[in-house]
Amino acid sequence: MKNPALASIVFGIYALAMGIGFTVAPNMLLSIFSIPATMEVWIRVVGLLASVIGIYYLYAGRSNDLHFFRMSVIGRTLFFVGMTAFALLNLGPTILIAFGLVDLLAAAWTAYALRANGELKF
């Protein structure tokens, strides 16, 4: 739990898996989360973007990139805030908060690991 590189790799695997799922079989995943199916390309674009982000996290973890880890804490926290705002403003379903919560928990793990190693510096 005190290894920020491991936190990055685990989150990278999650982002890559979700990204591939939303790129290849988006409506299957949407139905799991009770989000209406869509034939629009936007969900596949989001999936491709999540896959690329997952690759960044995997690379950063393997490279032990402390700068990336620090910024990811901020970025994933902002993602949680944004997803929660979308849900609270009725711009999307409340399940968006759960997607954001995964990011927030991963950000907290990374921050904890960085702090434990004396590396949480902004």
Domain boundaries, the chain: 4-116
Instruction: Count Cβ atoms below 10 Å from residue 67 Cβ, excluding itself.
Output: 10
Confidence of residue 2 (pLDDT cuts 50, 70, 90): confident
Q: What is the pTM of this model?
A: 0.91
Is 70 exceeded by the pLDDT of residue 122?
no
- How many DSSP H helices and E strands does the chain contain? 5, 0
pLDDT digits (tens, 9 = 90+) for 9-59: 999 999 999 999 999 999 999 999 889 999 999 999 999 999 999 999 999
Q: What is the DSSP letter of 45?
A: H
Is 90 exceeded by the pLDDT of residue 121?
no
Q: Mean of the pLDDT values across residues 105-113?
A: 97
Q: What is the DSSP letter of 56?
A: H
Q: How many CA atoms lie within 13 A of 15 on its CB side?
A: 23
